[in-house]
Amino acid sequence: MRAVVITQHGAPEVLRVQERPEQAPGPGEVGIEVAAAGINFADVMARQGLYPDAPKPPTVVGYEVAGTVSVVGKGVERFTAGDRVMAGTRFGGYAEKVNARETDVVALPDRLSFEQGAAIPVNYLTAYLGLVRFGSLQAGERVLVHAAAGGVGIAATQIAKAHGAEVFGTASPAKHDALRGFGVDRALDYTKKGWEKGLPKIDVVMDAVGGPSFRRSYNLLRPGGRLVCFGASSIVSGEKRDIVNAARTALRMPRFNLIKQMSQSKSVIGLNMLTLWDELGSLEPYMKALEEMIEDGTVDPVVAASFSFDKAPEAHRYIGERRNVGKVLLTP
């Protein structure tokens, strides 16, 4: 089968289409013929060598796919060949075929395309866990979503609005009309110095920017507020790994004082999907919530662009330059 391989750490051109052996699904696994695979910013970091959770190259990354069930392993009961599905994949999603645990697979409704399906698992589970499961979002609260035009940002906006929250979202000015169309109540220009001044206090912040942004987000919280840290995209500068920039950004990460935190009654929550995935053994505990959000219409995925496998370098460059409004995908 064909797969997009990170052949070594480096610029987007290290992504190459290669033939890889096809693996039969094991017991409890579903074999999926991939129609679309989601690209996450973590993939860009993995390509550059800045994501410690990723396997060492040569490797095939990719956390989420949508496609058609081709074969099922022993013991699988919920799916049969021909079913339309989407799934979380513990790497390996950038391929024509992939195996996923049955517990990590969800039926894809006919109203959603394969491209939309591949835009759901990571984005919406991350947003759900950050806002609802760990952030305890309540109706009437204020939410600040950083990078609100990205896949997680749009998912977080939709989930927050469904829970009756007021949403503030950061993005470059050219994306503000799109943000308002997605439901953001107040679009903020993060490129403008002092953009955070004069804002009302925030209840929940979703921040995957990292560096000094974590401190800024923390300072915006009201007493009882929750900062959800789920990434550090600011360590990426350019197309190749920049150790100096990464180190400088890491050094600017705040070191929270628990005594002050306790006094101010503010919470800082770390969220890493892979860690939770490994701890639980599957995404099953959260898949029910995902299915319910799909059923009630909360989930309305936005696809920014789809690239064929042989255009994978362009796809990574597109997301790395923060040009996307919505999810970026690969198609075989």
Sorted by where each starts, the structural domains of the chain and their CATH numbers stand as 2-119+301-331 (3.90.180.10), 123-273 (3.40.50.720)
Task: Return the pLDDT at 251.
Answer: 80
- For residue 136, the model assigns a pLDDT of 98
- Asked if residues 63 and 91 have their Cβ atoms less than 8 Å apart, the reply is yes
pLDDT < 50 stretches in the chain: none
What phi and psi values does residue 117 have, to the nearest 5 degrees?
-60, -40
Question: What predicted TM-score, i.e. pTM, was given to this entire model?
Answer: 0.96
Note the pLDDT of residue 326.
Answer: 98
Per-residue pLDDT at 248: 84
Q: What is the pLDDT of residue 325?
A: 98
Tens of pLDDT along 90-125?
A: 999 999 999 999 999 999 999 999 999 999 999 999
Alpha-carbon gap, residue 292 to 298, rounded angstroms = 9
